[in-house]
Amino acid sequence: SAAEKGGYEHFMQKEMYEQPKAVTDTLNPRLKGSRIEIEELGMTDEEIRAVRKIFIVACGSAYHTGVTAKYVFEGLARIPVEVDLASEFRYRDPILEEGTLVIIVSQSGETADSLAALREAKARGCRVLGIVNVVGSSIAREADNVMYTWAGPEIAVATTKAYSTQLIAEYLLALKFAHVRGRINDEELAGYIRDLQLLPQQIEMLLNNKEKIQKFANRYIAAKDVFFIGRGIDYAISLEGSLKLKEISYIHSEAYAAGELKHGTISLIEEGTLVAAVLTQEDLYKKMISNMVEVKTRGAFILAVTNADNVEVEKSADYVIYIPKNNKYFTNSLAVIPLQLFGYYVAIGKGCDVDKPRNLAKSVTVE
Ligand code: G6P
């Protein structure tokens, strides 16, 4: 009903606008001054130091947050991370050695494949941590430990706020592990925490600048294919941007690691094909620009999503969306906002049922 939507047109829209609060609610209970305390992790510092490998296992968008988390964990804590789709992990006889921590990420806590992966990992003697949104759900109950995301109920099939809070939980874990394992000192940790605390207001700012994206989206309601490209963390954002667009607008889209373009996607570029290029990683700007030029010379129209200070990009892109400056590890939380808005506005422009896209379910409890 209209009342349930709190004045918004769709649940997806309402939930996008709830992101600043959801992020704050997930972040704040774990911050103690300039320290991170995750009591529910149930691990002593010694146990954290004994972890030799992490598996992040999930489905859909939750899996995409795992792809981001791999870069963050490996970059900050220097622990090898493997990210796996739950439906693959459970059947591939994964190598789970002593010292392996398995993290299952799930909004609903009921996804059949994720639950089966959890059971497999436990049966094989691994410690399992759940990152779950629904309190008391199956994954929350069966995991050894559970870290809740405090996004509140999510109704729209396409996840937005749960996704954003999953990222926060993963950043907190990566920072905690990095600090305990001596990879970052107290001062560095305090700096990262300050950056995390900037996120809610920066997300809010991006949500309030929706007109620019709405106008742009209206030009693409008849698009046949859209490509999303990025490198590193920006590749992970591209995966999510592409999924958001295709699941609700039914426009075919693909995410490609930008360096991989010339091994495939580039043959699909035609005059006017939209390519969304995400470039938030300063050390990869140059590489990204050269990939953008590659597609532009084949006729692509380029939408760039980049950091506020990267005005240089205007030379190679046709349309630019800036995100406020934050730490390089946390840019996904910002860059995803314009991509969510883009998918949303393309879908409503086409008259699609954004909250209940055809053939999809909010929670997939069957195989
Ligand atoms: C479904 C939803 C997705 C979600 C995925 C995993 O496919 O439509 O939005 O990412 O399931 O769900 P979970 O509840 O485990 O996060």
Q: H/E element holding 195?
A: helix 186-208
In this prediction, residue 357 carries a pLDDT of 81
Reference 176, options 20, 42, 266; nearest CA is 42
Q: Which two tokens stand for residue 117?
A: 């992966």
- Per-residue CA distances from 173 to 22, 36, 177, 293, 326 (Å): 17, 9, 6, 37, 18
CA distance 12 to 139: 24
- Is ligand 1 within 6 A of the CB of residue 107? yes
| 100 membership: H or E segment, kind and range | strand 100-106
According to the model, what pLDDT value does residue 252 have?
96
Res 1 pLDDT > 70: no
> What ipTM does the predicted assembly reach?
0.94
- The pTM is what? 0.96
Q: What is the residue-averaged pLDDT of the chain?
A: 95
* pLDDT, position 157: 85
- Going 154 to 159 to 160 to 165, the CA torsion angle's sign is positive
> Does the CB atom of residue 106 touch ligand 1 within 6 A?
yes
pLDDT at site 238: 98
pLDDT per position as a tens digit, 176-233: 999 999 999 999 999 999 999 999 999 999 999 999 999 999 999 988 999 999 999 9
% of the chain residues with pLDDT over 70? 99
Longest dimension (CA), the chain: 57
Instruction: Give the residue numbers annotated as catalytic, written as ranges.
Output: 362
- 189, 36 Cβ separation under 8 angstroms: yes
Model confidence pLDDT, tens digit, residues 43-97:
999 999 999 999 999 999 999 999 999 999 999 999 999 999 999 999 999 999 9
Mutation probe of ligand 1 site: the residue of 111, 131, 240, 359 with most atoms within 8 A of C-beta: 111
Q: How far is the CA of 220 from the centre of ligand 1 (A)?
A: 26
pLDDT score of 6 = 86
Is 160 a pocket residue for ligand 1 (Cβ < 6 Å)? Answer: no
Place of tokens 């796996």: 84
Cα of 106 from ligand 1 centre, angstroms: 7
State whether the beta carbon of 360 lies less than 6 angstroms from ligand 1. Answer: yes
Confidence label for 267 from pLDDT (cuts 50, 70 and 90): confident
Q: Which tens digit of pLDDT belongs to each residue from 183-196?
A: 999 999 999 999 99
Q: How far is CA 279 from the centre of its chain?
A: 15
Cα-flanking dihedrals φ and ψ of residue 281, to 5°?
-100, 105
pLDDT of 128: 98
| Amino acid symbol at 326 | N
- Indicate whether 270 pLDDT > 80: yes
For residue 140, pLDDT beyond 70: yes
Tell me what pLDDT residue 353 has.
Answer: 87
